Structure 1
């Protein structure tokens, strides 16, 4: 193998690594030297190989989180939180811990609620959704729906 052939192979490999394709419905955060540089929107992008790396692949579609908590620390409750990323610029910093952040917020909000029957569960879920959105809005995340079930 000649030096010319080796050089061509290296150049082609770097060119292949430099092209990033972001699927529709996702955003990639691009990092350089450990610091966020920009977000790559859906489409094909050219990045600097060996300097830039994709930090997070943020799905803009809805996500589902199941949780187990309790009303006022007495009655066990299971439920589902449906959420999605609205502002990837803000959500990039917390995307890896978003599930735990939502789970902790649910537990805190439910501790202040009294035990509820089936009709009141809808009202509690609505208040919980509002409370979660108030806490998460600054992080670029929105809760779209909360469903509460009595634990078995």
Structure 2
């Protein structure tokens, strides 16, 4: 009888260790042996105890980044970006470095937009920057909600 109780206790403890709860508004990335395996959406999930570990907890909304002021093409500019993660599964393993990914893409897009617009033109605006950046980010499940540019 005690062996049965001990076995039941061990199985219950393993079940509790395998159960993970992800709160609304965030996702968790799971690593197995140090490599990205999957993304856990909000709700309850089972993970393999000892093999899997939650590597990162990522908020889906409320991201704010500052673009440092530097030369982009013929002009100097900096700015603020606000973005959200629409599809964390599409973002995948990049969730763990999503801020640096958005900053790198924003710098590349700002460089392209700045080079396409002559300095005297009014075509270089936050709207054109936001549109071009959203076109790039849509494939990753990200969306720029608001941005502002500050001339250097």
Say whether the fold is shared (TM-score over 0.5): yes
Q: Name the residue aligned to 2:149.
A: 148
SS at match of 1:66: strand
Does the aligned pair in 2 maintain the 1:72–1:115 contact within 8 Å?
no
Q: Which residues of 2 match residues 2-151 of structure 1 at below 5 A?
A: 13-33=13-33, 34-37=35-38, 39-70=39-70, 72-73=72-73, 75-112=75-112, 113=114, 114-115=118-119, 120=122, 124-151=125-152
Would the alpha carbon gap of residues 137 and 41 (structure 1) be closer, same or farther in structure 2, given more than 3 Å must change? same
TM-score by structure 2 length?
A: 0.74
Q: How many residues align?
A: 146
TM-score by structure 1 length?
A: 0.74
After superposing the two structures, state which structure 1 stretch, 4-13 or 133-142, moved more: 4-13
Name stretches of at least 5 consecutive residues in structure 1 with no aligned partner.
none
Q: In structure 1, what is the Cα distance between the partners aligned to 2:47 and 2:108?
A: 42
Distance apart, 1:124 and its partner CA: 1.4
Would the alpha carbon gap of residues 24 and 66 (structure 1) be closer, same or farther in structure 2, given more than 3 Å must change? same
Does the aligned pair in 2 maintain the 1:27–1:42 contact within 8 Å?
yes
SS at match of 1:93: helix
Deviations 1:81-138 (A, max 9, x none): 1111111111122123322222222222333424469xx48x6111111111111111
Q: In structure 2, what is the Cα distance between the partners aligned to 1:149 and 1:67?
A: 9
Q: In structure 2, what is the Cα distance between the partners aligned to 1:36 and 1:81?
A: 29
Would the alpha carbon gap of residues 47 and 98 (structure 1) be closer, same or farther in structure 2, given more than 3 Å must change? closer
Would the alpha carbon gap of residues 45 and 102 (structure 1) be closer, same or farther in structure 2, given more than 3 Å must change? closer
